[in-house]
Structure 1
Amino acid sequence: MSGSRRSNDWGFPRWRSYDATDRQATTVRECDRHGCSEKGDCPAPKAPNSPDRWYFCQRHAAEYNSKWDYFEGLDKAEKAARAKAEQSENAGYAEAQHYGWSGSGDGSRTADEMRALEILGLEADAEFDAIKKAFRMKAKEVHPDVKPGDAEAAQEFQKIQLSYNVLKSAEERRFWKG
């Protein structure tokens, strides 16, 4: 134990000095949106296929990205392939919905929610009351009790029920978040 020495960095009072050499100030980039002084840590492309980036705070990055069409110029097969690749590769994007960047009807709905709305025959900006009403109307038409033994109606009912569950859980996330 001749080589071991007790550290002076334990307990209170602190036995070592508070020199400025230990801790340097970090550079913080501000949001590139005019008038915003929040931390700009969300890069966004200035133009498609451009290496230049804007650096926004989360609120302004969401505003910037809400109108961005990542599938512009692709045909239907390429869009489907890219959507499938993104869904399999990027779990982070699915998690980003809990930040609450914006409300419903303004680009904040996921692809699953949009498919569910399409199945229920609703627009992207539909309120949850309209969703419930459409679900009930469609479910009454194809419910297994109304059409017993009809496999196609049962399958359609399951599809409608799954769509409603997707939209209900999304609405609950929005409610509890805000």
Structure 2
Amino acid sequence: MAARRSSDWGFPRWRGYGSSRDTVEVRLCDRHGCDQPGKCPAPKSPNSKDRWYFCEKHAAEYNKGWDYFEGLDKEEAARRAKSEQAENAGYAEAQHYGWGGSGDGSRSADEMRALEVFELEADADFDAIKREWRARAKKVHPDVKPGDADAAAEFQKLQLSYEILKSAEERREWRG
């Protein structure tokens, strides 16, 4: 029987530097029936050291309903949200890579706040967003309520929220 030639010869090397032929143990996603690698640790309960390990899809699903500020007073929650936003600001320029900070996994935190203005769910499609924006904007438009400062402020809030959601939708369409 002839000796098998190593794939570790010549230039370029036929396998990566530092790699080996030994088997590598891969932890699978803890979600029942999922066969993807579980790379995203998630706490089993608040303040617990025990972790689930999910794939990215199931980690986003798990974190969707998680309230990170539960049990905190308003000032402490605002302080933590501000520090989290400051930490995520460094990643804002990486939005074109498909991720851009905290959110439910499918939308950014800014998009989630904009959806709250319209009182819509996170999975609302853009047609529903547009319908809600038009309905609400018609009620508080400066032409309908001239001289009303509260209506003007509400209209600006609606307009800003709509612009955030519109630009996010355009980015999604552009990415394909």
Give the TM-score band, short-chain normalised: 0.5 to 0.7
Cα distance, 1:93–1:72 mapped onto 2, change above 3 Å: farther
Cα distance, 1:134–1:36 mapped onto 2, change above 3 Å: closer
Provide structure 2 residue ranges, at least 5 long, that are not aligned to the other structure.
Answer: 1-8
1:128 correspondence with 2:129? no
Cα shift at 1:144: 5.4
Instruction: State whether residues 98 and 173 of structure 1, in contact with CA within 8 Å, keep that contact through their aligned partners in structure 2.
Output: no
Instruction: State whether residues 32 and 56 of structure 1, in contact with CA within 8 Å, keep that contact through their aligned partners in structure 2.
Output: yes
Secondary structure (helix, strand or coil) at the match of 1:47 reads coil
Partners of 1:78 and 1:141 lie apart in 2 by 35
1:10 correspondence with 2:11? yes
Which position in structure 2 is the counterpart of 1:112? 110
Instruction: State whether residues 140 and 146 of structure 1, in contact with CA within 8 Å, keep that contact through their aligned partners in structure 2.
Output: yes
Cα distance, 1:81–1:22 mapped onto 2, change above 3 Å: closer
Which position in structure 1 is the counterpart of 2:53? 55
TM-score normalised per structure 1: 0.65
- Superposed CA RMSD: 3.7
Cα distance, 1:93–1:69 mapped onto 2, change above 3 Å: farther
Partners of 2:56 and 2:19 lie apart in 1 by 31
Deviations 1:119-176 (A, max 9, x none): 34x3325442232123234444555566778776655443322111111123334445
Cα distance, 1:70–1:10 mapped onto 2, change above 3 Å: same
Which position in structure 1 is the counterpart of 2:6? none
Partners of 1:117 and 1:40 lie apart in 2 by 30
Which position in structure 2 is the counterpart of 1:37? 35
Cα distance, 1:41–1:147 mapped onto 2, change above 3 Å: same
Instruction: State whether residues 28 and 39 of structure 1, in contact with CA within 8 Å, keep that contact through their aligned partners in structure 2.
Output: yes
Partners of 2:60 and 2:19 lie apart in 1 by 37
The number of equivalent residue pairs is 158
Instruction: State whether residues 60 and 105 of structure 2, in contact with CA within 8 Å, keep that contact through their aligned partners in structure 1.
Output: no
- Give the percent of matched residue pairs that are identical in Structure 1 and Structure 2: 65
Provide structure 1 residue ranges, at least 5 long, that are not aligned to the other structure.
Answer: 1-7, 100-105
Using CA pairs under 8 Å that are at least 6 residues apart, name the structure with larger relative contact order, 1 or 2: 1
Partners of 2:66 and 2:150 lie apart in 1 by 38
- Counterpart code for 2:75: A
Which position in structure 2 is the counterpart of 1:88? 86
Which position in structure 1 is the counterpart of 2:165? 167
TM-score normalised per structure 2: 0.65
Which position in structure 2 is the counterpart of 1:102? none
Cα distance, 1:52–1:116 mapped onto 2, change above 3 Å: same
Which position in structure 2 is the counterpart of 1:70? 68
